[in-house]
Amino acid sequence: MSGADMWTLAVIVGLAVVTVVARSFFFISDTAWQLPRWAQRGLQFAPIAALSAVVVPEVVMSHGALITTWQDARLFAAAAGVAVYVAKRNVLLTIVLGMAVYLPMHLGLGW
C-alpha cells in the first residue's frame, strides 16, 4: 500500500472510532442524565429546520440562482402544498396535491 492509501485508511478508521464513541457515549455512563430544558426545546425544531434547509432552496433556486420568473411549476406546487397543509394538516394530502399541481405544469407547460 502507498502512503496515500494508508493515510486514507487511517482517516476512515479514525472517523469510525469517533462516530462509535460519540454514539455510545450515552450508554457508557451508568447514571441517568437529562438534557437542559433549552436543549430539549431546541431539538423539537430540528426536523423542521432540516427539512426547510433542503426544500426551500430547491423551490426558490434554479442552477444556483434565485428564480426570476413566475413561470416555474415548483412555486405553484409549493404554494398549493402550503395551502392544503394549513387547511388540513395532512402530510400525505400535501404531497399528493403538490405533485398534482407540479406535474401537469412541468410536463404540460414545460415550466
Q: What is the mean pLDDT of residues 56-77?
A: 91
- Closest to 79 measured CA to CA, from 63, 102, 53, 62: 102
Q: Is the pLDDT of residue 56 over 80?
A: yes
Which residues sit opposite 19 in a β-bridge?
none
**pTM to 2 decimals?**
0.60
pLDDT band at 111 (very low <50, low <70, confident <90, very high): confident
CA distance 84 to 55: 17
